[in-house]
Amino acid sequence: MNSNTNSNFFRQEVDAAVDALLLQQVILYPTDTVWGLGCDAEVPPAVEKVYKIKNRPAEKGFIVLVADEAMFAKYAAVVPANLPELLASQERPTTYIVQGSRHLAPNLLAPDGTVGLRVVLQDEFTHKVVRRLGHGLVSTSANISGEPTAAIYAEVSPAIVRAADYVVSWRQDDETRAQPSRIVRVLPDGGLEVIRN
Protein backbone atom coordinates (compact mmCIF):
# COMPACT_ATOMS: atom_id res chain seq x y z
CA MET A 1 0.00 0.00 0.00
CA ASN A 2 1.28 3.48 -0.85
CA SER A 3 0.89 5.44 2.36
CA ASN A 4 0.70 8.68 0.41
CA THR A 5 -2.74 7.78 -1.00
CA ASN A 6 -4.34 6.66 2.27
CA SER A 7 -6.61 9.49 3.47
CA ASN A 8 -7.18 8.05 6.95
CA PHE A 9 -3.44 7.67 7.49
CA PHE A 10 -2.94 11.23 6.24
CA ARG A 11 -5.46 12.63 8.74
CA GLN A 12 -3.98 10.59 11.59
CA GLU A 13 -0.51 11.90 10.86
CA VAL A 14 -1.72 15.52 10.68
CA ASP A 15 -3.51 15.06 14.03
CA ALA A 16 -0.49 13.42 15.68
CA ALA A 17 1.88 16.12 14.47
CA VAL A 18 -0.41 18.91 15.71
CA ASP A 19 -0.88 17.16 19.07
CA ALA A 20 2.90 17.00 19.55
CA LEU A 21 3.31 20.65 18.60
CA LEU A 22 0.58 21.71 21.05
CA LEU A 23 2.56 19.89 23.74
CA GLN A 24 5.52 22.13 22.80
CA GLN A 25 7.42 19.18 21.35
CA VAL A 26 9.80 18.98 18.39
CA ILE A 27 8.66 17.04 15.32
CA LEU A 28 10.59 15.52 12.43
CA TYR A 29 8.43 16.00 9.33
CA PRO A 30 8.32 16.31 5.54
CA THR A 31 8.10 19.97 4.55
CA ASP A 32 7.23 21.55 1.22
CA THR A 33 10.95 21.22 0.40
CA VAL A 34 13.23 18.87 2.37
CA TRP A 35 12.75 16.93 5.63
CA GLY A 36 12.74 19.26 8.59
CA LEU A 37 12.69 19.70 12.33
CA GLY A 38 9.91 21.88 13.63
CA CYS A 39 8.10 23.28 16.64
CA ASP A 40 5.61 26.00 17.51
CA ALA A 41 7.25 29.28 16.47
CA GLU A 42 5.78 31.07 19.50
CA VAL A 43 7.31 28.77 22.15
CA PRO A 44 10.92 29.71 23.15
CA PRO A 45 11.77 26.44 25.01
CA ALA A 46 10.74 24.37 21.97
CA VAL A 47 12.81 26.61 19.68
CA GLU A 48 15.77 26.16 22.04
CA LYS A 49 15.41 22.38 21.81
CA VAL A 50 15.62 22.57 18.00
CA TYR A 51 18.86 24.57 18.30
CA LYS A 52 20.28 21.90 20.62
CA ILE A 53 19.27 18.99 18.38
CA LYS A 54 20.93 20.63 15.37
CA ASN A 55 23.93 21.90 17.36
CA ARG A 56 23.23 25.17 15.58
CA PRO A 57 24.74 28.53 16.62
CA ALA A 58 22.16 30.74 18.32
CA GLU A 59 22.88 33.66 15.98
CA LYS A 60 21.43 31.73 13.04
CA GLY A 61 17.67 32.17 12.89
CA PHE A 62 15.14 29.67 11.57
CA ILE A 63 12.52 29.73 8.82
CA VAL A 64 8.87 29.81 9.89
CA LEU A 65 6.14 28.22 7.78
CA VAL A 66 2.79 30.00 7.72
CA ALA A 67 -0.58 29.01 6.28
CA ASP A 68 -1.65 32.20 4.55
CA GLU A 69 -1.18 35.93 4.10
CA ALA A 70 -2.86 36.74 7.43
CA MET A 71 -0.42 34.56 9.37
CA PHE A 72 2.47 36.08 7.40
CA ALA A 73 1.26 39.53 8.47
CA LYS A 74 1.10 38.44 12.12
CA TYR A 75 4.80 37.56 12.14
CA ALA A 76 6.23 40.23 9.83
CA ALA A 77 6.84 43.76 11.11
CA VAL A 78 6.39 44.98 7.53
CA VAL A 79 4.47 43.07 4.86
CA PRO A 80 5.30 43.59 1.16
CA ALA A 81 2.40 45.45 -0.44
CA ASN A 82 2.46 43.06 -3.38
CA LEU A 83 2.59 39.86 -1.31
CA PRO A 84 -0.58 38.39 -2.93
CA GLU A 85 0.95 38.88 -6.39
CA LEU A 86 4.29 37.42 -5.28
CA LEU A 87 2.59 34.31 -3.90
CA ALA A 88 0.38 33.90 -6.96
CA SER A 89 3.35 34.07 -9.32
CA GLN A 90 5.92 31.96 -7.46
CA GLU A 91 6.83 28.69 -9.18
CA ARG A 92 8.57 27.05 -6.21
CA PRO A 93 8.60 27.46 -2.43
CA THR A 94 9.99 30.89 -1.57
CA THR A 95 11.13 32.19 1.80
CA TYR A 96 10.91 35.93 2.48
CA ILE A 97 13.40 37.48 4.93
CA VAL A 98 11.56 40.19 6.86
CA GLN A 99 11.78 42.01 10.18
CA GLY A 100 10.11 39.73 12.71
CA SER A 101 7.24 40.78 14.97
CA ARG A 102 6.79 40.42 18.72
CA HIS A 103 4.54 37.38 18.24
CA LEU A 104 7.51 35.12 17.47
CA ALA A 105 9.70 33.43 20.05
CA PRO A 106 12.60 35.93 20.53
CA ASN A 107 15.24 33.18 20.18
CA LEU A 108 13.88 32.41 16.72
CA LEU A 109 15.07 35.69 15.23
CA ALA A 110 18.45 36.42 13.68
CA PRO A 111 20.62 39.00 15.53
CA ASP A 112 19.34 41.75 13.21
CA GLY A 113 15.74 40.94 14.16
CA THR A 114 14.86 39.26 10.89
CA VAL A 115 13.08 35.98 10.25
CA GLY A 116 12.41 33.89 7.16
CA LEU A 117 8.69 33.40 6.47
CA ARG A 118 7.29 31.01 3.88
CA VAL A 119 3.63 30.57 2.98
CA VAL A 120 3.11 26.84 2.40
CA LEU A 121 1.28 26.53 -0.89
CA GLN A 122 2.58 23.38 -2.58
CA ASP A 123 2.40 20.78 0.20
CA GLU A 124 -0.97 19.69 1.58
CA PHE A 125 0.39 17.92 4.67
CA THR A 126 2.46 20.84 5.94
CA HIS A 127 -0.27 23.32 5.09
CA LYS A 128 -2.86 21.38 7.10
CA VAL A 129 -0.51 21.04 10.09
CA VAL A 130 0.18 24.78 10.16
CA ARG A 131 -3.48 25.64 9.65
CA ARG A 132 -4.59 23.31 12.46
CA LEU A 133 -1.84 24.49 14.81
CA GLY A 134 -2.88 28.09 14.25
CA HIS A 135 0.70 29.28 14.79
CA GLY A 136 3.78 29.48 12.64
CA LEU A 137 5.80 26.27 12.38
CA VAL A 138 9.57 26.35 12.68
CA SER A 139 11.19 24.71 9.66
CA THR A 140 14.87 23.88 9.59
CA SER A 141 16.59 21.08 7.72
CA ALA A 142 16.72 17.78 9.62
CA ASN A 143 20.48 17.55 10.01
CA ILE A 144 23.26 18.51 12.40
CA SER A 145 24.56 21.95 11.42
CA GLY A 146 27.26 21.63 8.77
CA GLU A 147 26.17 18.16 7.65
CA PRO A 148 24.33 17.43 4.37
CA THR A 149 20.64 18.29 4.14
CA ALA A 150 18.25 15.31 4.17
CA ALA A 151 16.16 15.63 1.02
CA ILE A 152 14.32 12.36 1.77
CA TYR A 153 13.60 10.51 5.01
CA ALA A 154 16.15 7.78 4.28
CA GLU A 155 18.88 10.42 4.50
CA VAL A 156 17.92 11.66 7.98
CA SER A 157 20.57 10.79 10.55
CA PRO A 158 19.49 8.22 13.19
CA ALA A 159 20.65 10.72 15.83
CA ILE A 160 18.14 13.28 14.55
CA VAL A 161 15.36 10.66 14.47
CA ARG A 162 16.10 9.72 18.11
CA ALA A 163 16.22 13.35 19.25
CA ALA A 164 12.81 14.33 17.85
CA ASP A 165 9.81 13.99 20.17
CA TYR A 166 7.58 12.85 17.31
CA VAL A 167 8.55 11.44 13.91
CA VAL A 168 5.93 11.86 11.19
CA SER A 169 5.37 8.68 9.18
CA TRP A 170 3.75 10.44 6.22
CA ARG A 171 5.95 10.40 3.09
CA GLN A 172 8.75 8.38 4.69
CA ASP A 173 8.74 6.16 1.61
CA ASP A 174 8.97 9.04 -0.87
CA GLU A 175 12.05 9.12 -3.04
CA THR A 176 11.30 12.44 -4.75
CA ARG A 177 14.14 14.83 -4.01
CA ALA A 178 13.00 18.41 -3.52
CA GLN A 179 15.26 21.45 -3.46
CA PRO A 180 15.56 23.85 -0.52
CA SER A 181 13.45 26.95 -0.94
CA ARG A 182 14.32 30.07 -2.86
CA ILE A 183 15.24 32.87 -0.41
CA VAL A 184 14.64 36.57 -0.98
CA ARG A 185 15.11 39.54 1.35
CA VAL A 186 12.36 42.16 1.54
CA LEU A 187 14.02 45.58 1.37
CA PRO A 188 12.75 48.69 3.22
CA ASP A 189 11.35 50.12 -0.02
CA GLY A 190 9.44 46.91 -0.68
CA GLY A 191 11.88 45.64 -3.28
CA LEU A 192 13.32 42.13 -3.22
CA GLU A 193 16.93 40.98 -3.08
CA VAL A 194 17.55 37.37 -4.09
CA ILE A 195 19.69 35.56 -1.49
CA ARG A 196 19.37 32.03 -2.87
CA ASN A 197 17.78 31.07 -6.19
Please state the three-class secondary structure of 4-63 as a single string.
Answer: HHCHHHHHHHHHHHHHHHHCCCCEEEECCCCEEEECECCCHHHHHHHHHHHCCCCCCCCE
Grade residue 91 by pLDDT with cuts at 50, 70 and 90: confident
Give the domains, in start order, of the chain with CATH numbers. 3-196 (3.90.870.10)
The secondary structure of the chain in percent helix, strand, coil, rounded to multiples of 5, reads: 35, 20, 45
User: How many angstroms separate the Cα of 179 from the Cα of each of 57, 94, 186, 196?
Assistant: 23, 11, 22, 11
- Per-residue pLDDT of 173-186, as tens digits, reads 999 888 889 999 99
pTM across the whole model: 0.94
Residue 127 to residue 163: CA distance in whole angstroms: 24
- Per-residue pLDDT of 118-152, as tens digits, reads 999 989 999 999 999 999 999 999 999 999 999 99
Residue 140 to residue 188: CA distance in whole angstroms: 26
Grade residue 190 by pLDDT with cuts at 50, 70 and 90: confident
Per residue, the 3-state secondary structure of 157-183, as one string, reads CHHHHHHCCEECCCCCCCCCCCCCCEE
- Per-residue pLDDT of 25-84, as tens digits, reads 999 999 999 999 999 999 999 999 999 999 998 888 899 999 999 999 999 998 888 899
